[in-house]
Amino acid sequence: MRKFLIEAAPPWRDGEWFAEEEVANPFPVSTAKKDQVAMELSRLGVSASEAPGAMKRRGKTTPLTDARRQQLSEQEGERLHQILSRIIDRKGWQNLSDDNKRKSISRLRKEIEQARPARIAQLVTS
């Protein structure tokens, strides 16, 4: 009975119900049955980073719409996925401890986030 109630309940965010179509995964959807990057991130307990709700440009704070935040999160998730897909099968990655893998992913995220202002400016002006 309880399982049914959980499955039947629509998604809830910020105190409001919303359509399931509005839910998106910031990581690219893979048609492959075994997405090694997604499996590794899950195994390590690493989740997607969240895009900011606003940007500061020329001293002025500009809020980002949910659609733009989602687009930014998807772009950053795709970039992280691209990088990790190239290194995840390498022996050097395999030899790292899980803690060092998490630290490496954190460093990659910081590098990706450093390019965030340019991506946000591009989203806002498009």
Per-domain residue ranges of the chain:
24-125
pLDDT digits (tens, 9 = 90+) for 12-69: 555 565 555 555 555 555 555 688 999 999 999 998 778 888 877 778 888 888 888 8
The pLDDT of residue 88 is above 60? yes
Q: How much is the pTM?
A: 0.68
Q: Please, which pLDDT band fits residue 126 given cuts at 50, 70 and 90?
A: low
* pLDDT > 70 fraction of the chain, expressed in percent and rounded: 72
Q: Tell me which of 16 and 82 has the higher pLDDT.
A: 82
**pLDDT for position 30:** 54
Q: What are phi and psi of 60, to 5 degrees?
A: -115, 130
pLDDT at 107: 94
Residues 84-106 as b/e (b if ≥16 CB within 10 A, e otherwise) read beeebeeeeeeeeeeeebeeebe
pLDDT at 80: 93
CA separation for the pair 104, 93 (Å, rounded): 10
pLDDT computed for residue 117 by the predictor: 81
Residue 7 has pLDDT above 60, yes or no: no
**CA–CA gap between residue 101 and residue 90 (Å, rounded):** 13
